[in-house]
């Protein structure tokens, strides 16, 4: 009901409802295409799906005769995800016993994997009752929610029903182990480290950005920028003409791009226009208004800024680090253990205002704070290696 009321005004909520209208037909269609007993993965949105990509890839290589089904909660995840061959996606419907019985009958999964935090409590109970293995990958929850009498209580009951729980924040491991058998819970689980490092190997050619890179001795890429990030970034972007800037808004629709262009006081190009024209006459700023180019653009950066941590939620800071680039981000990072890890290793830094941003940029170019590229890449590689043993634990449950 709440989503239905919200949909009267909210475009995303309308897409959420529209996507679920024919969910049974979609699941029924998927069931006719499955080969072998599939692995079912639930990801709330795009970030959670990206965390699961290495597991999906490994499963399909290990069991080429089997399929993967992926359920989403958010339209931004469902609509923007192109799944691999022999993978099928659908919107997860309301968490009712009747809906769940239909899903389990049609999918008949070898196991169900929840990614990070989006737990559907009735579904978990029904899967557990059928003795289907349950896995929670990269579990992360704030201590406030963990301690809340209602939601925290439901999480703690559900946690004990999982066969394997991997925890992103080692500092919370003991707390979670109080309600989950120690042999079922383990630190680690952020498989995105391996994913981003493998993506780097297949970096996309960007000749226009290569040309732009050559114009500047110093270049900063700002990815997934929200309006709150712009308030901090815009004054510095407008002032620092010694730096080349590539800026990617969080969403690339005309309204969001216009919000960005209105605060810029320096000449800029839209990347889509440059691609169409060949990019012969480059201005001082490139606005990356295309899909699929942000990750590869981090290759151009000396320093990166990743948006979202002034309100909505920090986006993927592992991506620039996979190229050996240090990264700046906003202050709201409690839900993102990778941010605290980056700060502790001097790969990243949190900023709260314009002065912080200016200070960290200056410190970077004076080589006064962040560790060198070679050391960043070593830490990223070591972190990826530490997660590889998780596959054996997961596949051992199938």
Question: Distance between CA 306 and CA 320 in Å, rounded?
Answer: 9
Do 192 and 54 contact (CB within 8 A), yes or no?
yes
Q: pLDDT tens, 199-224?
A: 899 888 899 999 999 999 999 999 99
| pTM for this prediction | 0.76
Reported confidence tier of residue 4, pLDDT bands at 50, 70, 90:
very low
> Which among 225, 254, 227 is positioned nearest to 328, based on CA atoms?
225
Distance CA 239, CA 285 (A): 12
User: Across the chain, which distance is largest between two alpha carbons, in Å?
Assistant: 64
Tokens of 244: 């080349």
pLDDT-derived band of residue 146, with 50, 70 and 90 as boundaries?
Answer: confident
Topology at the third CATH level for domain 2-198+384-395: Rossmann fold (3.40.50)
- Please give the structure tokens belonging to residue 312: 């909505």
Three-class SS of 74-121: CHHHHHHCCCCCCEEEEECCCCCHHHHHHHHHHHCCCEEEEECCCCCH
Q: Which residues contact 248 (CB under 8 A, 6 or more apart)?
A: 221, 222, 223, 224, 225, 287, 288, 289, 293, 294, 297
> Domain 203-383: which CATH class?
alpha beta
* pLDDT confidence of residue 309: 95
Instruction: Please determine, for residue 139, whether its predicted confidence score (pLDDT) is greater than 50.
Output: yes
| Fold match between domain 2-198+384-395 and domain 203-383 | yes
Q: How far is CA 268 from CA 205, 222, 256, 384, in A?
A: 22, 14, 15, 37
Q: In this model, does residue 10 exceed pLDDT 60?
A: no
Q: Which of 360, 359, 358 is nearest to 343 (CA)?
A: 360
Hey, where are the domains in the chain?
Answer: 2-198+384-395, 203-383
Starting at the edge strand found earlier in the chain, the sheet holding 185-187 runs: 87-91, 68-72, 39-43, 111-115, 134-139, 164-167, 185-187
Q: What is the pLDDT of residues 316-357, one digit of tens each?
A: 999 999 999 999 999 999 878 899 899 999 999 999 999 999
Please compute Rg for the chain using Cα positions.
22
Instruction: Return the sign of the alpha-carbon dihedral for residues 282, 262, 250, 19.
Output: negative
Q: Please report the pLDDT score of residue 9 as a whole number.
A: 47
Whether the Cβ atoms of residue 280 and residue 212 lie closer than 8 Å to each other: no
């Amino acid at each position: 009901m709440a989503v239905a009321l919200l949909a009267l005004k909210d475009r995303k909520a309308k897409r959420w409802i529209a996507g679920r209208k024919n969910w049974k037909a979609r699941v029924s269609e998927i069931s006719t295409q499955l080969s072998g007993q599939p692995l079912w993965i639930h990801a709330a949105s795009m970030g959670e799906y990206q965390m699961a990509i290495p597991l999906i890839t490994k499963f399909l290589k290990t069991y080429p005769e089997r399929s993967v089904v992926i359920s989403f909660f958010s339209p931004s995840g469902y609509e923007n995800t192109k799944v691999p061959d022999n993978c099928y996606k659908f919107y997860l419907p309301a968490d009712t016993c009747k809906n769940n019985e239909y899903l389990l009958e049609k999918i008949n999964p070898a196991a169900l994997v929840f990614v990070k935090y989006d737990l559907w409590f009735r579904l978990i109970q029904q899967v557990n009752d059928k003795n289907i293995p349950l896995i929670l990958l990269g579990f992360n929850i704030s201590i406030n929610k963990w301690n809340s009498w209602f939601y925290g209580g439901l999480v703690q009951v559900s946690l004990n029903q999982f066969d394997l729980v991997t925890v992103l924040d080692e500092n919370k491991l003991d707390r979670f182990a109080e309600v989950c058998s120690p042999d079922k819970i383990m630190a680690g689980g952020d498989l995105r480290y391996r994913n981003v490092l493998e993506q780097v190997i297949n970096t996309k050619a960007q000749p226009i950005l290569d040309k732009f890179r050559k114009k500047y001795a110093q270049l900063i890429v700002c990815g997934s920028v929200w309006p709150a990030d712009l308030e901090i970034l815009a004054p510095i972007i407008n002032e620092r003409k010694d730096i080349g800037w590539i800026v990617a808004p969080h969403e690339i629709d005309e309204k969001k791009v216009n919000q960005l262009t209105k605060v810029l006081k320096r000449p800029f190009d839209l990347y889509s226009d440059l691609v169409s024209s060949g990019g012969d006459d480059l201005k001082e700023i490139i606005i990356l208004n295309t899909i699929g180019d942000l990750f590869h653009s981090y290759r151009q950066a000396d320093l990166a800024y990743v948006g979202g941590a002034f309100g909505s939620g920090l986006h993927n800071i592992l991506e620039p680090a996979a190229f050996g680039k240090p990264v700046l981000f906003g202050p709201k990072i409690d839900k993102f253990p990778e941010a605290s890890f980056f700060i502790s290793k001097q790969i990243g830094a949190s900023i709260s205002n314009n002065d912080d941003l200016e200070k960290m940029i200056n410190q970077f170019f004076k080589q006064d704070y962040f560790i060198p590229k070679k050391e960043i890449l070593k830490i990223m590689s070591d972190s990826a290696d530490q997660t590889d043993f998780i596959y054996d634990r997961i596949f051992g449950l199938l």
